[in-house]
Structure 1
Amino acid sequence: MFTRRVSSLATRHTTSRCLSTAAPTGTQKPFVKIVDVSPRDGLQNEKTPVPTTVKLQLIERLTAANVPAIETTAFVSPKWVPQMADAKLVLPAILQHYSTNGKHYPVLVPNVKGLERALAASPQYPVKEIAIFGAASEGFSQKNTNTSVEEGLKAFEDVITLAQKHDVKVRGYLSTVIACPYDGPTDPKRVAELAQRYIDIGCYELSLGDTIGVGTPATIERMLTEVLKKVPAEKLAIHAHDTYGQGVSNVLKAVEMGIRVVDSSVGGLGGCPYAKGASGNVSTEDVVYALHGLGYETGINLEELAKIGDWITKEINRPNGSKAGSAIFAKL
């Protein structure tokens, strides 16, 4: 079955690669790049195993809908994240068939061992981009990775050194930028200091995560005001969760302040296992609908995105967390 799925990916490659992902220029609408994290962040906490074929089909469908960046999987310990145990199958299948289409397919790695596994998984079609993840709060860092914030940064330096030797780009995640479930509110100046350090050690881009979804446009503005003093907007992304229904509003505030990369998850899939009550990521459909309504361009086919959200949530027996996606799909 897996072989047939890979064959399907190959035959559809010619369709997806003709879709442009270039940012608009001149008189065109301002462009916002969407990074859909559903294959990794959206599925990693599912208790029932999601078949590899379903993961591949999800990535395939997102590619065909012209999503410019899709986080495909994670090379983490299967003991702690069993849902990502098939990373060594997912990555080479995707890179083999989509390595020249101009889109981004990053994978998450926690440490040097994770990067080594990613490199070994697809030697013929090498991984081009990885993501590393840390926290702005000590409590979350200890709970999530069993290290201090400072220890985590030092470990990332080794990951980045190895990545650079293999011409692999490194994207960073900085979580709990608004608040931590253990330490409470996060000081925006602390977030700014850490953001600068992630860029200084070699991350080409840093995604700022409201991990427990308690942010509001006001707290997002306060945080970004400090971060933008140290890191330019073109090196930043926003990663919002929708726990209190503020996800889209928080994304739009970040875009208003100059951020042009947004992480989201089709169907609003995902959540944080270390943050009680934190619901899923802000949905890609809701973000794209709002951005298009404000005159921004994403290059994404919103109707196809709505179909994907309906399909994947049914596949894994989850409610569709996207209001825009559900409404659009109902009209199709």
Structure 2
Amino acid sequence: MEVGPRDGLQNEKQVVTTATKLELIQRLAQAGLREIEATSFVSPKWVPQMADHAEILAGLAALPPLAHAVNYPVLAPNMKGYEAAVAAGAREVAVFAAASEAFSQKNINCSIAESIARFEPVFSAAQHDGVKVRGYLSCVIACPYEGPVAPQQVADVAARLFDLGSYEVSLGDTIGTGTPATVQRMLEAVAARIPVAQLAGHYHDTYGMGVANVHASYQFGLRSFDSSIAGLGGCPYAKGATGNVATEDVVYLLHGLGAETGIDLDALVDTGAWISEVLGRPSQSRVGRAMLAKRAG
């Protein structure tokens, strides 16, 4: 699940044009990605970078078809966002909750229980409309305000998202403090409640553990991972938290493990270099930087 166009760009201070976002998504799709989170149907007051959400979906609908099907899920945190997303043509939405009470209050101004209650009409409408729903769960290892989060607490909230109807629950190490050992303990608790095939890993690279945590999760049995091109993104509510693990790094790892991803790594590296140049910053992908240096050789 490529989250760069949404999670990667949502907190950019500079305005990223609609045309740039559409080109980024198109390049990612052409590189072979099949799941690309396109935008977020949240209030422009809170996330001004995503104010062009309807234009993004309209632009994607106008793109020429590729040899492979591509899904463009969007974030829709409440019923108002869901209705706007579906009206704009979305066929898959994502909702998000936190495993930490303090983070839930800081992030979406309500308790965990209140956030889950907000999602109930979204799941009900989605089932009626034939729209898929994916659940995001943040702070599955630790919270910037509360510290370590108990695996059982993660499992409890993840199970509530799953029971509501999430086809997949994405487990987010929001501040990137996880290690293979803490990730495995968390996964053991969650997997007792939700089939492993319906879990995804979403790891930030703050402490350089993103790829290691993907590997540990892969060995545990997960086959779905969120990543962001060039390591774009971060969390505005988690001080010092760097971006998601870079898509280039995850694909390099998976290819090294013999996994079939259908992704052209060279095209992916080119895309990471392009968007980094557009944003005026170096890519956070170690694989991207290494491959470009080797080419320049």
Write the distance in 2 (CA, Å) between the matches of 1:206 and 1:325.
Answer: 28
Q: 2:267 aligns with which of 298, 304, 314?
A: 304
> Paired residue for 1:106?
73
* 1:295 and 2:258 matched: yes
> Paired residue for 1:186?
149
Q: 2:24 aligns with which of 43, 48, 58?
A: 58
Q: Retained in 2: the 8 A contact 1:136–1:186?
A: yes
* 1:135 and 2:98 matched: yes
Cα deviations across residues 208-228 of structure 1 (Å, max 9, x unaligned)? 000000000000000001111
1:96 Cα offset (Å): 3.9
With 219-228 and 98-107 compared, the bigger mean Cα shift is at 98-107
* 1:171 and 2:134 matched: yes
Structure 1 residues 249, 98: CA separation in 2 closer, same or farther (over 3 Å shift)? farther
Write the distance in 2 (CA, Å) between the matches of 1:95 and 1:226.
Answer: 40
1:79 Cα offset (Å): 0.7
Cα deviations across residues 115-174 of structure 1 (Å, max 9, x unaligned)? 1111222xxxx3110000110000000011001000000111111111122111000100
Q: Retained in 2: the 8 A contact 1:95–1:127?
A: no
> Paired residue for 2:235?
272
Write the distance in 1 (CA, Å) between the matches of 2:51 and 2:114.
Answer: 26
Q: For this pair of structures, how many residues does the alignment match?
A: 294
> Paired residue for 1:229?
192
Aligned with 1:237: secondary structure? Answer: strand
Aligned with 1:97: secondary structure? Answer: coil
1:317 Cα offset (Å): 1.2
Q: Retained in 2: the 8 A contact 1:303–1:329?
A: no
> Paired residue for 1:83?
49
Q: 2:82 aligns with which of 115, 122, 147?
A: 115
1:97 Cα offset (Å): 3.2
Aligned with 2:136: secondary structure? Answer: strand
Unpaired runs of 5+ in structure 2?
Answer: none
Correspondence 1:211-222 to 2 at 5 A = 211-222=174-185
AA aligned to 2:21 is: K
With 90-99 and 46-55 compared, the bigger mean Cα shift is at 90-99
1:282 Cα offset (Å): 0.2
Q: Sequence identity of aligned pairs in percent?
A: 57
> Paired residue for 1:73?
39
Q: Retained in 2: the 8 A contact 1:56–1:94?
A: yes
Write the distance in 2 (CA, Å) between the matches of 1:127 and 1:97.
Answer: 15
Structure 1 residues 170, 99: CA separation in 2 closer, same or farther (over 3 Å shift)? farther
Unpaired runs of 5+ in structure 1?
Answer: 1-34
Q: 2:4 aligns with which of 25, 38, 46?
A: 38
Q: 1:313 aligns with which of 276, 293, 297?
A: 276
Write the distance in 1 (CA, Å) between the matches of 2:180 and 2:77.
Answer: 30
Q: 2:13 aligns with which of 35, 47, 65?
A: 47
TM-score when scaled to structure 2? 0.97
1:324 Cα offset (Å): 0.2
Write the distance in 2 (CA, Å) between the matches of 1:102 and 1:166.
Answer: 21
Write the distance in 2 (CA, Å) between the matches of 1:262 and 1:102.
Answer: 18
Write the distance in 1 (CA, Å) between the matches of 2:64 and 2:3.
Answer: 17
> Paired residue for 1:22?
none
- Taking only aligned residues, the RMSD between alpha carbons, in angstroms, comes to 1.2
* 1:148 and 2:139 matched: no
Write the distance in 2 (CA, Å) between the matches of 1:99 and 1:193.
Answer: 41
1:98 Cα offset (Å): 6.5
Aligned with 1:70: secondary structure? Answer: coil
Write the distance in 1 (CA, Å) between the matches of 2:284 and 2:46.
Answer: 26
1:99 Cα offset (Å): 7.5
Which portions of structure 1, spanning 4 or more consecutive aligned residues, are displaced by more than 4 angstroms? 98-101
